[in-house]
C-alpha cells in the first residue's frame, strides 16, 4: 500500500512478500514478475535472496538499480509525505534510524561518500554486492531467463536516470555518468551482470517519456508480446 512504499524496513517487506510468493501453489512452477519504479529493485532482491521462488522473466520499469542521488520533485499527490522523506534524507540518509524506517533512504547512493554508502546502506549496497560478494545472489540472478530494463528518457523522478540501466555517477562527483559497461558492477562482475549480459539475457529498452509514462500499445508490443508470451 501507499504507506509501506514510504515507511518501514524494506528488508522485512521483501521477506514478507517472499514468504507469500513461496506459499502460493499457483506460482510453484515459475512465473514472470513486473516491478514498477522502486518495486523493480525490490523484486530483484526476491530473486537474489530466495532460490525457492522461480521468477522466469523480471521486467523492470523505471527501477533504480544503482540507487539514486537526487531528491524527486514532489507532485500534488502525497506532497507532504514526499517532502518529509526528502527532509529526512537530507538530515542523514545513512543514519540507522533513517535506513530502518524510510524506504527511499535504503537506495540512496551518494557518490561523494562511496565508503559510507557501501558500509551503511541497508539495502541497495547489499543486493548489489558492494560490501562482500554473495555468491548466492550471483547464482540466483543468473537463473533468470530475461532481465528487461526499461529506462524513461525524460525521467524527472530518478537521478541519474541511467540507474534504470544499472549506470550511475562516477565516484567522487555527481555530474558525469558511467554507463553500465563502465561500472564496477559490470567490469568486476560483482553481481553476475556481466555473465548475464554476455549470455544475452539482459535487454535494454527505452521510452521517450517521463517516469512510468508509456502507452498501452507500447507495453503490449515491447513487453507482453516480446517477453511474456
The domain locations on the chain are 3-228
Architecture of domain 3-228: 3-Layer(aba) Sandwich (3.40)
Q: How far apart are CA 205 and CA 10, in angstroms?
A: 27
Q: What's the pLDDT score for residue 6?
A: 79
3-class DSSP state of 174: coil
Average pLDDT over residues 73-101: 75
Write the pLDDT tens digit of every residue in 95-117: 999 999 989 999 999 999 999 99
Q: What's the pLDDT score for residue 90?
A: 72
Q: How far apart are CA 202 and CA 204, in angstroms?
A: 7
pTM of the entire predicted model: 0.92
Q: What's the pLDDT score for residue 75?
A: 56
Mean pLDDT of the chain: 93
Q: Is the pLDDT of residue 2 over 90?
A: no
Q: Is the pLDDT of residue 189 over 60?
A: yes
Letter string b/e over residues 146-159, b meaning 16 or more CB atoms within 10 A of that residue's CB: bbbbbbbeebebbb
Q: What's the pLDDT score for residue 1?
A: 58
Q: Is the pLDDT of residue 202 over 80?
A: yes
Decide the pairing of beta strands 168-169 and 177-178.
antiparallel
Q: How far apart are CA 200 and CA 163, in angstroms?
A: 20
Average pLDDT over residues 191-216: 96
Residues annotated as part of the active site = 37, 155, 211
Q: Is the pLDDT of residue 26 over 80?
A: yes
Q: What's the pLDDT score for residue 74?
A: 60
Average pLDDT over residues 127-150: 97
Q: How confident is the model at residue 4 (pLDDT cuts 50, 70, 90)?
A: confident
Average pLDDT over residues 80-105: 82
Residues, the chain? 229
Cα dihedral 119, 123, 125, 128 in deg (nearest 10): 150
Write the pLDDT tens digit of every residue in 164-174: 999 999 999 99
- H or E stretch covering 146: strand 146-152
Q: Is the pLDDT of residue 183 over 60?
A: yes
Amino acid at each position: 500500500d501507499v504507506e509501506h512504499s514510504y515507511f518501514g524496513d524494506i528488508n522485512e517487506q521483501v521477506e514478507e512478500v517472499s514468504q507469500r510468493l513461496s506459499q502460493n501453489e499457483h506460482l510453484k512452477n515459475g512465473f514472470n514478475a513486473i516491478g514498477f519504479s522502486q518495486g523493480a529493485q525490490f523484486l530483484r532482491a526476491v530473486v537474489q535472496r530466495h532460490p525457492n521462488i522461480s521468477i522466469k522473466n523480471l521486467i523492470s520499469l523505471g527501477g533504480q538499480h544503482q540507487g539514486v542521488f537526487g531528491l524527486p520533485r514532489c507532485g500534488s499527490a502525497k506532497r507532504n509525505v514526499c517532502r518529509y522523506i526528502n527532509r529526512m534524507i537530507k538530515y542523514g540518509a545513512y543514519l540507522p534510524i533513517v535506513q530502518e524506517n524510510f524506504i527511499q533512504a535504503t537506495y540512496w547512493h551518494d557518490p561523494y561518500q562511496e565508503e559510507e554508502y557501501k558500509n551503511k546502506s541497508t539495502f541497495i549496497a547489499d543486493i548489489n554486492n558492494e560490501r562482500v560478494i554473495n555468491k548466492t545472489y550471483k547464482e540466483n540472478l543468473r537463473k533468470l531467463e530475461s532481465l528487461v530494463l526499461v529506462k524513461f528518457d525524460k525521467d524527472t523522478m530518478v537521478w541519474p536516470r541511467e540507474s534504470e540501466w544499472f549506470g550511475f555517477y562516477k565516484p567522487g562527483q555527481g555530474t558525469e555518468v558511467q554507463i553500465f559497461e563502465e561500472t564496477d558492477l559490470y567490469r568486476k562482475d560483482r553481481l553476475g551482470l556481466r555473465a548475464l549480459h554476455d549470455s544475452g539475457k539482459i535487454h535494454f529498452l527505452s521510452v521517450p517519456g517521463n517516469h512510468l509514462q508509456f502507452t498501452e500499445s507500447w507495453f503490449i508490443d515491447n513487453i507482453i508480446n516480446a517477453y511474456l508470451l
